[in-house]
Amino acid sequence: MRLTCVLEREAPWERYGPPVKAIQRPSHRPRKRFLVRIQSLEDVDRARRQGLPLLLVRSEDLSILRYPMHIPPTILVPREYREVLETSFPVRVFQASKPFDQPRLEDLVVFLLMHDPLAARAVVERNRDLLDFQHLTKRIYQEDLEEPATLVHLQDYIDVPSVGEPLPREGLMRAIEGNRVTEVLP
């Protein structure tokens, strides 16, 4: 509890009033009303069944999108829940809480823009027919990822303004060509 003081000017009819008065502050709720402790991958599933907006991204999710990338299991949370999440897994924060109701492929592309923009470009290029580019554009704006999108020339596919300096196109194409899919996924 903090004591807040106010100095008041003495009015003629209040000659002997106290010069300092304490102002009562209303008590507030604690910042954390609950704590979510994630210690295993099963805990993420249990938390989702309880209605908490969490997403787990694994390497298998990316290999389905024809990008064989090995990442540690990463938990995606909305910004409101970051303070109450306690885990040893890597955590990425989404500004919007909408993708947690019905996750879509575009949300994985947004995660990759945060994690590895070159991988996001490769996933967009390899899965053009599966992605909804209008929804992807909306999600990029929501997460304020125009700069990483510009970095890897996503303007070739979606209508996002250029922000920042893009990578040289020749080097980008060489990097994507050097990471072609070598196996056919079921």
Span 44-96, pLDDT tens digits: 888 888 888 888 888 888 888 777 778 899 998 888 888 888 889 999 988 87
pLDDT digits 0-9 by tens, 161-170: 888 888 788 8
pLDDT digits 0-9 by tens, 113-138: 988 888 888 888 888 888 899 999 99
Contact 140, 146 (CB under 8 A): yes
pLDDT value at residue 17: 44
Q: Rounded to the nearest 10 degrees, how much is the dihedral formed by the CA atoms of 54, 98, 70, 126? A: 160
DSSP structural state of residue 134 = H
- Within 8 A by CB and 6+ apart from 186, the residues are none
Nearest alpha carbon to residue 106 among 55, 147, 45:
55
Helices 133-143 and 105-115: crossing angle, nearest 10°?
40
| Helix, strand, or coil (residue 87) | strand
> For tokens 């019905």, what's the residue?
102
Least confident of 138-142, 153-157, 179-183: 179-183
Contact 91, 75 (CB under 8 A): yes
Domain boundaries, the chain: 36-177
Burial class (CB in 10 A: 0-12, 13-18, 19+), 153: middle
**Tokens coding 115:** 């994690």
Q: Is the pLDDT confidence value at 29 over 60?
A: no
CA–CA separation, 8 and 18 (whole Å): 9
pLDDT value at residue 105: 86
- Within 8 A by CB and 6+ apart from 44, the residues are 38, 54, 56, 75
Q: Rounded to the nearest 10 degrees, how much is the dihedral formed by the CA atoms of 117, 144, 78, 137? A: -80
